[in-house]
Every structure is written in C-alpha cells, then in structure tokens.
C-alpha cells in the first residue's frame, strides 16, 4: 500500500488485517526522539574497563527497558503494559526502530485501533499521539 520510496509512518504492521495469534508492530524511531528519551532514562555510569560490546549491551538493555515507559501502546484504549520491545531495522527501508509482538487474545473481532503515544515536548506530564493505525482482526476458526 506504500511505495518503498515513501517515508514510513510512525507505526506500522505488516497488514491491515490480522488473523493469527500475534500482531507485529513496528515503531519508527527517528533521532528527534533521542532528547525526550534521554530526559526520562538515565544510563548508569559503566566502568571503562568493560569491553565495548558489553558496554553496548548494557546500554541497550537500559534503553529498551525505558521504551516500555516512554512509548505508551494501546489497542482500543486498553493499555499494553509491557509490550517487550526489541530493537529492529525495517526490512524494506532500513529505518531504525523497535518491534513488538502483541497477543491478539483481547482484540475485538472486526475493527481495532492501535495507538502509540509519547511524552509531549511542551508538557512532560502529558502525552501526544505519535502514531495510530486501524486494523481488522478476524480470528482463524
């Protein structure tokens, strides 16, 4: 539905219809979100004696844990508490982001709306809609 040259929407899934036990959700992560994320997540000081790959793993684990608080994910206004984000590169356009696999057990049959909210840059105590995508759920019978 989108040509490869077009920029990705903030959130996407492989299809607008879902039949299986999971919905795959990709959230595009542009650099402009780094400042807001840094305000909410403090990376602990790591000893210089650690090898770079271990330092990177620890930093990544802190950042991915923070994503659960930073990215508020809802389906039909029901909060998905811990979506278990994973760093991911979009396979078509190579855009960096995070991906989660949501169980479909509580989805409505028919139309559903997936929404991702992030802290507002103007008022850190409020949220703004980062992206929204409608999808149709029809469980396999």
- Residues 107-119: pLDDT tens digits? 999 999 999 998 8
Q: CA neighbours within 13 Å on the CB side: how many for 140?
A: 5
5 occurs within a structural domain: no
Flag whether 6 is in a domain.
Answer: no
Instruction: Identify any residues that bridge with 113 across adjacent strands, giving them in sequence order.
Output: 134
Whether 2 maps to a domain, the answer reads: no
CATH code (residue 110): 2.60.40
Q: Select the more confidently predicted residue: 8 or 104.
A: 104
- 3-class DSSP state of 27: strand
Sheet containing 86-89: order of strands:
11-12, 22-28, 96-103, 86-89
Give how many domains the chain has, as a whole number.
Answer: 1
Q: Where are the alpha helices (DSSP H) in the chain?
A: 34-40, 52-70
Q: Which range of residues forms the domain containing residue 118?
A: 11-137
Beta carbons of 98 and 125 less than 8 angstroms apart: no
Q: Which residue has the higher pLDDT, 67 or 34?
A: 67
Please indicate, yes or no, if residue 114 is contained in any of the structural domains.
yes
């Amino acid at each position: 539905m989108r040509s490869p040259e077009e920029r990705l929407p903030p959130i996407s899934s492989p299809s607008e219809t879902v039949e299986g036990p999971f919905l795959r959700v990709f959230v595009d992560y542009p650099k402009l979100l780094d400042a807001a994320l840094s305000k909410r997540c403090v990376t602990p000081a790591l000893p210089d004696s650690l090898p770079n790959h271990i330092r990177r793993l620890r930093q990544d684990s802190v950042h991915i844990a923070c994503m659960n608080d930073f990215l508020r994910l809802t389906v039909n206004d029901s909060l998905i508490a811990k979506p278990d984000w994973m760093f991911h590169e979009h396979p078509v356009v190579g855009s960096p982001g995070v991906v989660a696999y949501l169980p479909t057990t509580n989805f409505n049959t028919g139309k559903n709306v997936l929404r991702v909210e992030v802290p507002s840059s103007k008022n850190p105590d409020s949220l703004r809609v980062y992206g929204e995508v409608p999808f149709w759920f029809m469980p396999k019978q």
